[in-house]
């Protein structure tokens, strides 16, 4: 198994290298700003402990953690009463095949056993852990402490020792420039704008992507999973899962904002993009798209991850899902034949690279 190397950390406020011990990480004066960052539940914490994102409530997540501490995460999940939540958590938290697209990650001539992979917004960590046997160190960063605690307990259950959890805001990563060989961002770009509601959405997303570009080494790779704004599933009537409201992704942004305020009393900030607009946003952050893959049905649990360079894999997929309603399959066939299908896939995995020095 790969062995963790020491993870260099730097102060999110002033950029000074941090001294880390069992209690905290310190940014010592006179070279540093004097701030200290505590461990919370054993996890170095740079973030706001009140930040919470979750499919289960904070209370239910905490009781899951207590149960998992005494037993295993798997048995704590089996004790969830609601059968839908139980089955969802089983696959979302425990299923390492969620990272099955990882053979697309290309570390170049870097020795994998020395490589550092950073998963930003790692959540319960299934994807981060799927990389652990294949690289030197995985750093799993999330803004929700409870999700990192579950993730750390899963690593304990699996005997993985090279997954380092860090509690931090994705907009201020406590890692030095050029430290990461690869960065994974799955289902996070569309959530970061909620962390700074005073700034226009695209500016916050760009700030986040620039953080990612900063920590990548020259030539390092980003793997970014996100829903396609124009996914055929939304055009056929599925609600935008980020808001629970149909059309917030599809409508012009201002109309979507009005619709969201009317439906939920809050602004619309979960921006997703089509293929070209997403590539343009990445380019503005200094990240060049190498390839766009379609993850079907969703990047969260892909049955298939296919290149969009040719329509053959999509055509194959459409043939294989004969259980789909006839109209959807017919529309899919027409979209493939006319060449528009790559623009309408439900989710993308964008592979992008920071320019080599
Ligand atoms: C949709 S979940 C994806 C989790 C994980 N990548 C996966 O695929 O299982 C979004 C994650 O981003 C985290 N997140 C959202 N905004 C964040 C922020 N500003 N800083 C750090 N983490 C954030 C949430 O806590 C949550 O775990
Ligand atoms: Zn400092």
**Residue in 351, 174, 13, 157 with CA at minimum distance from that of residue 165:** 174
Q: Is the CB of 186 under 6 A from ligand 1?
A: yes
Per-residue pLDDT at 132 exceeds 60 = yes
Q: Residues within 5 Å of ion ligand 2 by Cβ?
A: 11, 13-14, 16, 27, 32-33, 35
User: What is the C-alpha to C-alpha distance for residues 341 and 70, in angstroms, rounded to an integer?
Assistant: 49
Evaluate if residue 5 carries a pLDDT over 60. Answer: no
Higher-confidence residue of 188 and 335: namely: 188
**pLDDT grade, residue 344 (50/70/90)?**
confident
Backbone phi and psi for residue 34, each to the nearest 5 degrees, phi listed first: 90, 0
Other Cβ atoms closer than 10 A to 164: 22
The mean-pLDDT minimum among 149-163, 214-228, 273-287, 322-336 falls in: 322-336
pLDDT, tens digit (0-9, with 9 covering 90-100), for 63-73: 999 999 999 99
Q: Which of 25, 62, 66 is nearest to 46 (CA)?
A: 25
Average pLDDT over residues 281-305: 90
Q: Parallel, antiparallel, or unpaired: how do β-strands 180-186 and 116-120 relate?
A: parallel
* pLDDT (0 to 100) of residue 2: 46
User: CA-based angle 272:350:320, to the nearest 5?
Assistant: 90
Confidence at residue 46, expressed as pLDDT on a 0 to 100 scale: 98
Q: Average pLDDT of 178-184? A: 98
CA–CA separation, 41 vs 35, rounded Å?
19
Ligand with smallest separation from the Cα of 37: 2
Residue 248 makes CB contacts below 8 A (sequence gap 6+) with: 240, 242, 256, 259, 260, 268, 270
pLDDT surpasses 70 at 219:
yes
- Residue 16 CA to ligand 2 center (angstroms) comes to 6
| Ligand 1 atom nearest to CA at 51 | 25
Beta strands in the chain (DSSP E): 19-20, 24-26, 36-40, 43-44, 116-120, 137-142, 163-167, 180-186, 216-227, 287-296, 304-307, 347-354
What pLDDT score does 323 carry? Answer: 58
Residue of 207, 336, 226 whose CA lies nearest to 277: 226
Cα–Cα–Cα angle for 349, 355, 357, rounded to 5 degrees: 150
The response to whether residue 61 sits with its C-beta less than 6 Å from ligand 1 reads no
CA angle 303, 216, 345 (to 5 degrees): 25
Q: Tell me the mean pLDDT in the region 127-152.
A: 97
Q: Across residues 232-257, what is the average pLDDT? A: 95
Residue 325's pLDDT is 63
pLDDT at 301: 80
Phi then psi dihedrals of residue 208, to 5 deg: -65, -50
pLDDT for 307 equals: 86
3-class DSSP assignment, residue 350:
strand
Q: Which domains does the chain have, with CATH numbers?
A: 45-294+348-354 (3.40.50.150)
Ligand nearest to the CA of 26: 2
Q: For residues 37 and 240, what is the distance between their CA atoms, to the nearest angstrom? A: 37
Q: In the predicted model, what is the mean pLDDT of residues 144-163?
A: 98
Is 142's C-beta closer than 6 angstroms to any atom of ligand 1? yes
Res. 1 pLDDT band, cuts 50 70 90:
very low
Mean pLDDT of the residues in the chain:
92
């Amino acid at each position: 198994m790969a062995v963790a190397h020491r993870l260099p950390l730097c102060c999110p406020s002033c950029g000074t290298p941090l001294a880390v011990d069992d209690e905290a990480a310190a940014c010592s004066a006179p070279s540093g700003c004097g701030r200290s960052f505590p461990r919370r539940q054993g996890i170095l914490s740079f973030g706001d402990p009140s930040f919470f994102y979750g499919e289960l409530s904070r209370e239910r997540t905490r009781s899951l953690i207590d149960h998992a501490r005494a037993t295993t995460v798997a048995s704590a999940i089996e004790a969830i009463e609601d059968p839908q939540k139980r089955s969802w958590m089983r696959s979302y938290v425990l299923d390492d095949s969620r990272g099955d697209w990882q053979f697309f990650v290309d570390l170049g001539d870097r020795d994998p056993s020395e490589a550092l992979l950073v998963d930003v917004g790692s959540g319960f960590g299934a994807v981060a852990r799927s990389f652990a046997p294949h690289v030197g160190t995985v750093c799993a960063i999330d803004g929700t402490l409870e999700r990192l605690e579950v993730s750390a307990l899963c690593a304990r259950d699996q005997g993985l020792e090279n997954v380092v959890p860090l509690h931090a805001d994705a907009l201020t990563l406590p890692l030095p420039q050029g430290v990461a060989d690869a960065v994974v961002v799955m289902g996070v770009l569309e959530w970061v704008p909620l962390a700074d509601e005073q700034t226009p959405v695209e500016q916050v997303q760009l700030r986040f992507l620039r953080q990612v570009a900063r920590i990548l080494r020259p030539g390092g790779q980003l793997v970014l999973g996100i829903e396609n704004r124009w996914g055929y599933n939304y055009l056929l009537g599925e609600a935008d899962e980020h808001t629970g409201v149909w059309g917030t992704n599809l409508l012009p942004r201002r109309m979507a904002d009005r619709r969201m305020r009317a439906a939920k009393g809050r602004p619309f900030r979960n921006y997703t993009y089509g293929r070209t607009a997403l590539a343009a946003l990445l380019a503005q952050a200094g990240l060049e798209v190498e390839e766009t893959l379609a993850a079907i049905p969703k990047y969260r649990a892909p049955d298939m991850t296919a290149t969009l360079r040719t329509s053959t894999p999509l055509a194959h997929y459409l043939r294989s899902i004969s259980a789909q309603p006839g109209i959807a399959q017919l529309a899919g066939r027409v979209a493939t034949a006319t060449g528009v299908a790559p623009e309408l896939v439900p989710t993308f995995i964008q592979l992008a690279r920071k320019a080599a020095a």
